[in-house]
């Protein structure tokens, strides 16, 4: 039978430029959203989170935007550096689910020198 490969979405960005990684979620009852960064050979690490009563949150060089109308989440990384190369995952928590997160498939960010 035919096997179907699943390819990770990839974003390629010039060093120093801003990166925008997008994520769509499906559940209107999701009340908490998190972005994780996973470097090669390591477990995911927390970057930034946002609750559903907010539409924007800023950290150090990162900003998360939440658009509940279209169920869209984005992560913006300012002045992308080589150390930002990783796979980025968004995760959503459905209210009342005991923090059983629902994970996106991930986006691989590649930094061009």
Partner 1 sequence: DVKVTQSSRYLVKRTGEKVFLECVQDMDHENMFWYRQDPGLGLRLIYFSYDVKMKEKGDIPEGYSVSREKKERFSLILESASTNQTSMYLCASTGQTEAFFGQGTRLTVV
49 Cα distance to chain centroid: 10
Residue 31 engages partner 1 in binding (rule: CB under 8 A): no
103 Cα distance to chain centroid: 10
Residue 109 engages partner 1 in binding (rule: CB under 8 A): no
Do the strands 86-94 and 102-103 form a parallel or antiparallel pair, or are they unpaired? antiparallel
Nearer to partner 1, 41 or 83 (CB): 41
Nearer to partner 1, 38 or 63 (CB): 38
Do the strands 107-112 and 10-14 form a parallel or antiparallel pair, or are they unpaired? parallel
Q: Which residues bind partner 1 (CB under 8 A)?
A: 5-8, 34, 36, 41-46, 49, 89, 91, 98-101, 103-106
């Amino acid at each position: 039978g035919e096997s179907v490969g699943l390819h990770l979405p990839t974003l390629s960005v010039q060093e120093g430029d801003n990166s925008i990684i997008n994520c769509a979620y499906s559940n209107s009852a999701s009340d908490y959203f998190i972005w994780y960064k996973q470097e090669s050979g390591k477990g995911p690490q927390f970057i930034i989170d946002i609750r559903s009563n907010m539409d924007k949150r800023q950290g150090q060089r990162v900003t998360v935007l939440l658009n509940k109308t279209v169920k869209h989440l984005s992560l913006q990384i300012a002045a992308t550096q080589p150390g930002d190369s990783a796979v980025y995952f968004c995760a959503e928590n459905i209210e009342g689910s005991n923090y059983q997160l629902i994970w996106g498939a991930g986006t691989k960010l590649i930094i061009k020198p």
